[in-house]
Structure formats: C-alpha cells, structure tokens
Amino acid sequence: MQGDLNSTTSPDTDDAGETGGSSADRVYGAIVDRIIEGRLRPGDALNEVALAEAYGVSRTPIREAVQRLANAGLAERGARRSFQIRRLPLSELADLFEAMTEIEALCARLSALRMSEVERHRFEECVRAGGEAVARGDGETYAALNTQLHQMLFDGARNRSLEEIASLLRVRAAPYREAQFRQTDRIASSHAEHERILAAILARDGVAAQAATTAHLASSSVNITRMLEQPPRGERPLVK
C-alpha cells in the first residue's frame, strides 16, 4: 500500500525504482503527449494492464495517472466502467474553442510585444517549415509543427498563468485539432493564417497578432465542427 503524507514507512516503488508518485507523473505525462500527438483519440480505451506493461510499472501508478486524466477532463468512464479518452459533446467543444480562442489570441498579442529576436526567428522558421509540409501534402508533419507554433505563442507571452491555462485547453482540444489535418484539406488555409500571424509578430503589432489569431482559431472551430458533424466513412465519431 502506498504511504500517505503521515506515514513513517517508505513509499512503494516500481520495478524501475521509482516511487508510486513519480511513476504516476511519468505515465500521466506520456499519455498527455500521446493525446497531443494524436496517437490517443477520443473513445480510445485506457487499459490498465496494457498501460502497465507498456510503461513498465505496476497498476497502482496507472490508476493514479488515469484518475488525474479524468480530473483534468481528459478521460471518462466508458463501457464496463473502464476509462477511455473523453469524447466531448459538440456544445462543450464549442465552449472549449471559445475559451481557447480568447486565451491564445491574448498570448499572440503579448508575444508580438515580448518575444526576443531569437524567438521571432524560430517562429518564422516553424511557419516556413509548415509551408513545406503543405507543399508535400504532409498533414502529420504539419500537425506536429502546428503544435510547436502555438506553444511558441504561449511561451512568448511571458505570462506563466496564461501559459498554464492555454496549455490545459490545448491538451483538451488536441485530438480534434490534430484530426482536422488528417481528415480534411485544412492545412493550406491554416498555413495561410499562420503567415498572417507571423507578419504581425515580426512587425511587433500586438493588435494585428491578436486579430489574426482570433480569425485562425475561428476558422479551425468551424472546420472541426463541420468535420465532426460529417465524419469520414469508417471513422469512429470523436464526439458524443
């Protein structure tokens, strides 16, 4: 049994010598990464036995990590009371995108004013790499670059509270944002919108950066809603 805060006994460790808490942290982070990367999608099962084998830990830290996912709104009880990656109702997804649009647009405005020259250069490189992915029709690479680009906006804002909120919203929306690059022709229009954000960032124009990011997230929201209302044949619905 794992010791509580008042226990004088040593905490349990897994086979790798980690404490239960550190193992749960590692597993939680790994699962979140898989959600962001689109390798775990809404409705996918979180099987305790399979996860324990995959991460080389006991089932106790797996349960702790999955419960944290549930507390963060990323997992839910599915069939037979087992956990799965949460599928959001369309109404809740709309609320999520509304909040995300406001937060990310504010991050963009602050980034335009606060980014260093090195950060602006890296942001430009990321946008240019996205253009190359568009030319190749490489949606998977574009999705990864899209995640990096938005993280640069969070970091460039130089506001820890905004970054934490934006990152949590990003994780919750990640399966839907990633799916649009696999299931639709969104990458070309998304890249054009990134170009407008880049122009504002390089010009240090906070108002323009905020407006461009607002328009970008609004376009994504419309595209994702259309995709979810008419999922491709053979694809499991991503929403309830």
The tens digit of pLDDT for each residue in 175-193 reads 788 777 766 678 999 999 9
Taking the CA atoms of residue 159, residue 167, residue 146 and residue 208 in that order, the dihedral angle to the nearest 10 degrees is -40
3-12, 140-149, 203-212: segment of lowest average pLDDT: 3-12
- 183/144 Cα distance (integer angstroms): 15
Alpha carbon distances (Å) from 125 to 121, 129, 148, 162, 215: 6, 6, 11, 24, 22
**Local structure of 73: helix, strand or coil:** coil
Strand partners, 239: 88
Both tokens assigned to 167: 């990152």
The two three-digit tokens of residue 224, written as one number: 């994702």
Q: Of 198, 195, 206, nearest to 114 (Cα)?
A: 206
- Whether pTM > 0.85 for this model: the answer is no
pLDDT tens digits for range 127-162: 999 999 999 999 889 989 999 999 999 999 999 999
pLDDT at 29 over 60: yes
The pLDDT of residue 233 is 60
Phi, psi of 187 (to 5 degrees): -60, -35
Region 171-177: mean pLDDT is 83
Which pLDDT score, from 0 to 100, does residue 48 have?
Answer: 92
CA atoms in the 13 A half-sphere facing the CB of 61 = 29
